[in-house]
Amino acid sequence: MESIRSGLRHIMSDFLQKQPQDEAPVLAWPVVCGAEVASRTKAVGFAEGRLTVEVPDANWRNQLAAFTARYLSSLNELLGSQRVSDLRFVVCDLKRASADKSEIKNQKS
């Protein structure tokens, strides 16, 4: 099983290294944090070495902040360089933001 996981990470790493520098860390976030965390968070931007991730509340922000070093190491390993030097977790009501986007989309239709 480990060789499959290793192979998939290698494929993902190759893919990410071909993406625009400002998009690759955002795309890498769900791979690095895992499915459970990815379902509750959203990477929203990358600039000047900082990846910004929206989280549902202050508890999530505090818990994820404790894993910052691990996330940075995994991101940079996957990206193949020291692109990400900082993570910023910001509280955002992800359900409301998703509903707002759906409402705007429906208004345009």
2-108 maps to which CATH number? 3.30.300.180
State how far the Cα of 106 lies from the Cα of 28, in Å rounded to an integer.
30
The predicted pLDDT at position 1 comes to 55
The predicted pLDDT at position 94 comes to 62
Structural domain boundaries in the chain: 2-108
Q: Residue 95 pLDDT more than 80?
A: no
Average pLDDT across the chain, whole number:
87
Contact in structure between 54 and 26 (CB atoms under 8 Å): no
